[in-house]
Amino acid sequence: MARRKKKTHRSLAKRVKVTRTGKILGAKTGYHHKNVKKGSKRVRRARLGMQVKGRMRKRFLEMLSA
């Protein structure tokens, strides 16, 4: 019996970017919401995004591998 072909998780692929060196870059969560409470420095840093690390990175790469 043939194995099923592994598919890319499309919603994740639209939200993150994998760089040439293998880093996974994505947006920081929750910075579009209730920004009056947050300091300008914090909002600015959130706009830059973040790098996914650790176990989450391993899981993301598994979901993205087609």
Chain-wide mean pLDDT for the chain? 91
Angle at 50 between CA 65 and CA 14, to 5 degrees: 40
Cα 64 to the chain's mean position, in Å? 11
Q: What pLDDT is stored for residue 8 in this prediction?
A: 94
Cα dihedral 55, 61, 31, 11 in deg (nearest 10): -130
Taking 50 as the pLDDT cut, the residues of the chain under it are: none
Question: Residue 9 pairs with which residues in a beta bridge?
Answer: none
Cα dihedral 41, 30, 55, 52 in deg (nearest 10): -50
